Structure 1
Amino acid sequence: MTNEIELFEVREPAIQTIPFVYNSPHSGRRYPSTFLDESRLDEISIRRSEDHYVDELFSAAPRFGAPLLVAHFPRAYVDVNREPYELDPRMFSDPLPPYANSNSARVAGGLGTIPRIVAENMEIYERRMPLTVAMERIESCYKPYHACLRRLIARTHAMFGFGVLIDCHSMPGNIRVAGSGLKPDFIVGDRYGTSASAELSQAALQFLEDLGFTAVRNKPYAGGFITEHYGRPARGLHALQIEVNRSIYIDETTLEKRSDFDVLAGSLAVFMEQMAEFVADYAGDRALAAE
């Protein structure tokens, strides 16, 4: 795969001026031809798990002084928002190594590090694959991606004394908040208060609502492996997951952008600017910098 596509890129500002790192791990849309040959799905169906164009929605990050890390490999190929070895034994012709986690809820749902399905429970593969295929993807894509993300976060923390990771995602348009029927435009996830300060989460919700959106916290998406793994508020490292409802910016059948796509991107640029100003105002507050 490494010969077919560029794996990922960091879109850097000329100078990093704010303690933020933006990350788009699921918007990759460069599908290796060998992977497509192995799949039983057509070219539209295989894309159902993408966070479609999320890298473009948050493309203003470097303009405000923050790096934006963007995956080019697709989520259906390897999912970096998982533990490195969340593997489904049903997918492979060889036994899994003892360190593999085959019992997680994500594996059970077909959405491990090497996904078995895309959205709507569509099976990706015709047959089992050699375990070496999974290990190659983990070594060539997963591990370099996380090494890069760790460097960006460590650099940011060293420069500013604290850091904020914004993990950018999208969600299907039919998502509802349990018990209310509410269809949110955005979900802000902070792992139920463990990956970021309450002040930061509340600020994100307020800014989105002030922009005219419906925003909720943690339900049904509280944040995945990346948010959980990198968010350490006690050390001054905060991680928020932002989920955007796809139905407000693409046609979910054709995957084409809606006419007001650029309007949403502009609103998110305002949101990013407001978040930067909020953190600058509260940089000395122990509730945000280190709890």
Structure 2
Amino acid sequence: MKIDDWLIVQRDNGPLLCSIPHAGTSIPEEYARDFDSPWHATRDADWWMPELYGFLKDMGATIVRTEISRSVIDVNRDPSGTSLYPGMATTGLCPDCDFDGAPLYRSGFEPSQSDIERRRQAFHEPYHAALSQEISRLRKLHPAILVYDCHSIRSTIPRLFPGILPNMNIGTNEGKSCGAGLGEMIRTICEASEFSCVLNGRFKGGWITRAHGRPADGVHAVQMELACRSYMDEPQSGLNEGNWPPAWNPERAAAIQRVLRTVLTEAMSWIGTPKETWANDV
């Protein structure tokens, strides 16, 4: 099902709902002229998330994703504009700078408060309404479900975090967005792999995880933030239009895909949804 060509819902009946909020690179024409360049406005996208998680179709997963660039509006931010990480550098609901702190807009063309409100109503509200609708639908089919929020980010961004980010960054809002022990179980799987990992480190889960995770109601939410080097070849020098983003390479991504599939399989079993209930005809 496609809604207005920007909000995409791929519906299935398993107990897994996957959100892909930052892979979009579409910028409506009314906003495009205000950015300093189309490349810059899409540079910080979570590249190749639909391709990386292509195996979800075999797991009976429902997927909600947006084609809108996070530079237009970030549907994983608190709609009030309140920072999810007080005291730390981050980007806002309608960011005026990129991850490195460089301005995204031409001088004087930054979105006003009324612009932000219009974008919130046009994109943020429908995205979360779609998530809520699918959560309600799937909960009628299963005693518990997993909301899994898919993300990626460059491995080195000094403004946001020191050093090199671990490959796999698991966020459960300090254990509030899912049942006790689920985050630790996922961490154990990741630690047994070739990839480095951390639980509730720099990325503890954004607004999607925090707003929709209700473990007492059978809705367990987890964010997975992957360092881009986990599945593609990050440039060794500065980013430019010639080297970013690297092309999608399924062979390069295969190793992390195996770990991600195991994480999701074991997480669904952990929340009490046996594999035989994942079929499409529940």
Please, what TM-score do these two structures have when normalized by structure 1? 0.79
Please, which runs of 5 or more residues in structure 1 have no aligned partner? 87-100, 286-291
- Give the aligned residue type for 1:272: R
For 1:22, the equivalent position in structure 2 comes to: 18
3-state SS, counterpart of residue 30 of structure 2: helix
- Give the aligned residue type for 1:71: T
Mapped to 2, the partners of 1:179 and 1:107 lie a distance apart of 13
1:229 to 211, 216, 225: 211
Tell me the CA shift for residue 189 of structure 1: 0.6
Q: Bigger shift: 202-211 or 114-123?
A: 202-211
Please, which runs of 5 or more residues in structure 2 have no aligned partner? 275-282
Q: Bigger shift: 56-65 or 267-276?
A: 267-276
1:124 aligns with 2:104: yes
For 2:228, the equivalent position in structure 1 comes to: 246
Where do residues 148-227 of structure 1 align in structure 2 (5 Å cutoff)?
148-174=130-156, 183-227=165-209
For 2:278, the equivalent position in structure 1 comes to: none
Mapped to 2, the partners of 1:205 and 1:221 lie a distance apart of 14
Closer, same or farther: CA 189–154 of 1 in aligned 2, 3 Å? same
Tell me the CA shift for residue 34 of structure 1: 2.8
Deviations 1:119-139 (A, max 9, x none): 111112221444332222111
- Give the aligned residue type for 1:55: P
Closer, same or farther: CA 110–34 of 1 in aligned 2, 3 Å? farther
Identity over aligned pairs, percent? 23
Mapped to 2, the partners of 1:58 and 1:142 lie a distance apart of 23
Mapped to 1, the partners of 2:173 and 2:255 lie a distance apart of 27
1:31 aligns with 2:27: yes
Where do residues 60-75 of structure 1 align in structure 2 (5 Å cutoff)?
60-75=55-70
Deviations 1:166-202 (A, max 9, x none): 01111221169x9996641110111111111243212
Mapped to 2, the partners of 1:273 and 1:222 lie a distance apart of 21
Tell me the CA shift for residue 215 of structure 1: 1.4
Closer, same or farther: CA 258–250 of 1 in aligned 2, 3 Å? farther
Mapped to 2, the partners of 1:64 and 1:204 lie a distance apart of 17
Mapped to 2, the partners of 1:69 and 1:59 lie a distance apart of 13
* Root-mean-square deviation (Å): 3.1
Report if the CA contact (8 A) 1:22-1:165 is conserved: yes
Closer, same or farther: CA 84–47 of 1 in aligned 2, 3 Å? same
- Give the aligned residue type for 1:117: C
3-state SS, counterpart of residue 148 of structure 2: strand
Closer, same or farther: CA 278–192 of 1 in aligned 2, 3 Å? closer
Mapped to 2, the partners of 1:9 and 1:73 lie a distance apart of 11
Closer, same or farther: CA 279–259 of 1 in aligned 2, 3 Å? closer
2:74 to 56, 79, 82: 79
Mapped to 1, the partners of 2:38 and 2:161 lie a distance apart of 36
Deviations 1:111-159 (A, max 9, x none): 2211111111111222144433222211111111110011111112221
For 1:6, the equivalent position in structure 2 comes to: 5
Mapped to 1, the partners of 2:206 and 2:179 lie a distance apart of 17
3-state SS, counterpart of residue 117 of structure 1: coil
Tell me the CA shift for residue 222 of structure 1: 0.7
Q: How many residues align?
A: 262
Tell me the CA shift for residue 257 of structure 1: 3.0
- Give the aligned residue type for 1:240: V
For 1:97, the equivalent position in structure 2 comes to: none
Mapped to 1, the partners of 2:168 and 2:66 lie a distance apart of 21
